[in-house]
Amino acid sequence: MSVIKRRHAVHCVYPNSIHLSKGFKNTMPITSPKELALSMLSELRHGAERSQKIYQELGEAAQSPEIKEALDARELVSSQIIARLDECFRLIGEKPSKVNERLHEVFIESFRRELNEIQGPVARKLFVLAKASHLGHLQAAGYHALIAVADTLGHPGVAVLLETCLADKLAFMERTKHLIRTQIGEKVLKAA
């Protein structure tokens, strides 16, 4: 993987860590593993807050009671994840740092633009589910990395809390796959 691709991949998960475009500046210099962990944890917490709003918008856009119900449940779980992340901050004796909000803004802007181009109801549902899955994978990657950092820095309680957050994310991703298969199955049955 090229250096640019690696930097872009890191930027997508942790936008505070690298600047690639004009006008983007780190919100704080990172000089130690603990500062990196704090930045990563702050990104995850901010992402969990923003995800609540994103899942709500995705649910409304799906125009499907089944998908809306699943995404509404995800919104509830997100609030529980925020409480666990707040406990992580308490355990390490820190407060969330300021994060760059542009990643989530770009995600939602892109989602809205692409959704407006999709006319078919089944295609819209599948697109919404694909975006929900994409968001879940992005967040899961952050949890995997931070769990390893928490273990390395000697914070087993933080690692346990992060693992429970990750488990919730992975469960949601499995349910999303099930909903995608259900939507495709319904489309095939209607076509037969």
Using alpha carbons, select from 88, 63, 79, 91 the residue that is nearest to residue 161: 88
CB distance 46 to 99 below 8 Å: yes
Q: Distance (Å, rounded) from C-alpha 183 to C-alpha 123?
A: 9
Amino acid present at 51:
S
Sorted by where each starts, the structural domains of the chain and their CATH numbers stand as 34-191 (1.20.1260.10)
- Residue 2: the pLDDT is 42
pLDDT digits (tens, 9 = 90+) for 142-187: 999 999 999 998 999 999 999 999 999 999 889 888 888 888 877 6
- Residue 41: the pLDDT is 93
- Residue 25: the pLDDT is 46
Rounded average pLDDT over 99-109: 80
Write the DSSP string, 124-176.
Answer: HHHHHHHHHHHHHHHHHHHHHHHHHHHHHTT-HHHHHHHHHHHHHHHHHHHHH
Does the pLDDT of residue 116 top 50, yes or no? Answer: yes
pLDDT digits (tens, 9 = 90+) for 39-97: 889 989 988 888 777 777 777 777 778 888 887 787 788 889 999 999 999 999 999 99
Top pLDDT among 145 and 19 is at 145
- Residue 75: the pLDDT is 78
> What is the reported pTM?
0.74
3-state secondary structure 8-37: HHHHHHCCCCCCCCCCCCCCCCCCCHHHHH
Q: Could you tell me the sign of the dihedral formed by the alpha carbons of 180, 55, 161, 18, in that order?
A: positive
Which strand (E) or helix (H) includes residue 180? helix 156-191
Q: Find the length of the chain.
A: 192
Q: Distance (Å, rounded) from C-alpha 46 to C-alpha 80?
A: 14
For residue 9, name the pLDDT band (cuts at 50, 70, 90): very low
- Residue 96: the pLDDT is 93
